[in-house]
Structures are given as C-alpha cells and as structure tokens.
C-alpha cells in the first residue's frame, strides 16, 4: 500500500485505467475501417480538414493525395502505435460517434471505478492526461461498464492542449491550468518515461505495473509502483 497526501490526481488511461487491449484492439479495430469514410464525409469540417493537412505534411504526401493514401499513413501510425495528433483527432471523432450510438462501451480494470469514485467523494480534484484526444476521452468516460463517469473529472488534457506526455513542460502546463500545487499533485501512469517527466515538473508519481500489460516488468524506480489502484491511498 502506498499512502500519499495530495489534492489533485491526474490519471493516464491506457494501461492505467483500462487494459491496453481495449485501446489497441477494440478501439483501433473500430477506427480502422471508418477513417476513410469519415475523412470523405466530413471534408468540410474544419477539424477534419486541419487533421488531413497535418497528415499530408507529416506523412510526406502531396496536396493531391487520395483518401486511400491518407488512410495508409494513418494505418501505418496505428500499426506502430504512434500517437500522432491528427490520428488521435480522427480516432476521437470516430469513437465519439461509436459511444454515442452504443457500438462501444469502455471497460476498466476491476479496481478503477470504485477507487476513482472514492477519491472524488473525498474531495480530490481528478483530471485525465492521455494521448487520446479530449473529445475521445470524454466520450470514453460517458459510456462504461461502470456507468457514466464523466462527472468525476474536472478537466481533460491531451497532447494538443498540454503537450507530449514524456516532457516536463506538459505537466507544468496542466498544473497551471488546474491551478494546482505541483507538490500536491500526483500522476498515475503505466509508462516510466511519463512518470519521470511529471516528477521533473515537481509532481508526485505512482507507477501502475499491472500484470500482463506492456510495462508490467519495466523499471519504475525511483517512482513507487503498484499493480492496482486499491493499493494507492490518497488523503
Ligand atoms: C478514448 S481514449 C483512448 C486512449 C487513446 O487513444 C490512447 O492512445 C491512450 O494513450 P494513453 O496516453 O492514455 O496511454
Ligand atoms: Mg498509458
């Protein structure tokens, strides 16, 4: 059991709240065949047009690139699990629709919903920092096997409104947006490099080394690590 004193709790999603397979299999497989149709059907949407321009630029495609060429770049990024902003934007829009129409339901590790509700009821301010886009995150928490959890969170951060997850300035930006005291803020993640960045920003950190997850056997030092939120006590 780890006991901390903090007022702000910021959580990662993949590998921390939900199994990696929920993202890499369930959500990625849902997005893959829908990316092309979404780009074509929402070509006039400014958010989609901006994402397409970024894909062309980052993917080295010409102005006349076809939707199939754009999708090939997006699939390549997904296959390599590169969490690149325009991909996360389009995925988030597709998942938002998927949760709204009832195609998708988010599943958490069994300890998660209870612990988040307890921390919220105890007066802690909860926020999310994930590579998933903010609209995608909000949709994810709207329809879960534990009900609608959106009210638990005061704020959502992604790589667009905060910055890269492995860089300390992103955590400084989040603390500033939350008006949080860094030393009274804790970040929970399954990725040691993210914990290093949060600690560099003056935050407290807890690693989630969940059995069977990609980082289960990683070296989390100097951060304390647990395999369940049940083992994290915050007062
Ligand atoms: C609907 S949120 C999906 C999460 C996601 O797309 C993702 O890439 C998760 O990355 P994280 O930073 O939470 O490990
Ligand atoms: Mg993660």
Residue 70 CB-half CA count within 13 A: 28
Tell me how far the alpha carbon of residue 110 lies from the centroid of ligand 2, in angstroms. Answer: 17
pLDDT on residue 156: 98
Reading the block at residue 184, the tokens are: 């009274």
10 touches ligand 1 (CB under 6 Å): no
Tell me how far the alpha carbon of residue 44 lies from the centroid of ligand 2, in angstroms. Answer: 33
23 touches ligand 1 (CB under 6 Å): yes
Q: What is the pLDDT of residues 210-222, one digit of tens each?
A: 999 999 999 999 9
Mean pLDDT, residues 67-95 taken together: 97
The pLDDT-based confidence of 233 (bands split at 50, 70, 90) is very high
The residues, any chain, with a CB within 8 Å of residue 211's CB and separated by 6 or more, are: 227
Q: What is the pLDDT of residues 41-61, one digit of tens each?
A: 999 999 999 999 999 999 999
Residue 230 CB-half CA count within 13 A: 7
45 three-class SS = coil
Q: What is the mean pLDDT of the chain?
A: 97
| CA of 131, nearest ligand number | 1
130 touches ligand 1 (CB under 6 Å): yes
Rounded CA separation 99/102 (Å): 5
Percent of the chain with pLDDT over 70: 100
143 touches ligand 1 (CB under 6 Å): no
Closest atom, ligand 1, to C-alpha of 106: 1
Domains in the chain, please, with CATH?
2-18+106-234 (3.40.50.1000), 25-100 (1.10.720)
The residues, any chain, with a CB within 8 Å of residue 226's CB and separated by 6 or more, are: 2, 206, 207, 208, 209, 232
158 touches ligand 1 (CB under 6 Å): no
pLDDT on residue 142: 98
Q: What is the pLDDT of residues 105-150, one digit of tens each?
A: 999 999 999 999 999 999 999 999 999 999 999 999 999 999 999 9
Query: What single string gives the DSSP state of each residue in 168-181?
Result: HHHHHHHHHHHT--
- Going by C-alpha positions, the residue among 174, 151, 131, 146 that lies closest to residue 27 is 131
């Amino acid at each position: 059991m780890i006991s901390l004193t903090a007022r702000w709790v910021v959580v990662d999603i993949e590998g921390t709240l939900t199994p990696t397979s929920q993202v890499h299999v369930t959500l990625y497989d849902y997005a893959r065949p829908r990316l092309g149709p979404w780009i074509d059907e929402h070509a006039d949407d400014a958010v989609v047009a901006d994402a397409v321009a970024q894909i062309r630029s980052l993917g080295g495609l010409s102005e006349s690139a076809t939707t199939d060429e754009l999708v090939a770049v997006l699939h390549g990024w997904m296959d390599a699990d590169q969490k690149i902003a325009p991909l996360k934007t389009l995925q988030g829009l597709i998942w938002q629709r998927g949760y709204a129409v009832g195609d998708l339901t988010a599943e958490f590790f069994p300890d998660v919903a209870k612990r988040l509700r307890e921390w919220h009821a105890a007066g802690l301010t909860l926020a999310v920092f994930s590579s998933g886009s903010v609209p995608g995150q909000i949709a994810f928490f709207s329809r879960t096997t534990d009900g609608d959890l959106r009210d638990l969170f005061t704020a959502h951060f992604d790589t667009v409104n905060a910055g890269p997850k492995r860089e300390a300035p992103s955590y400084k930006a989040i603390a500033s947006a939350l008006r949080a005291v860094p030393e009274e803020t804790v970040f929970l993640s399954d990725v040691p490099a993210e914990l290093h960045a949060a600690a560099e920003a003056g935050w407290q950190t807890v690693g989630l080394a969940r059995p069977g997850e990609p980082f289960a056997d990683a070296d989390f030092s100097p951060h304390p690590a647990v395999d369940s939120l049940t083992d994290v006590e915050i007062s």
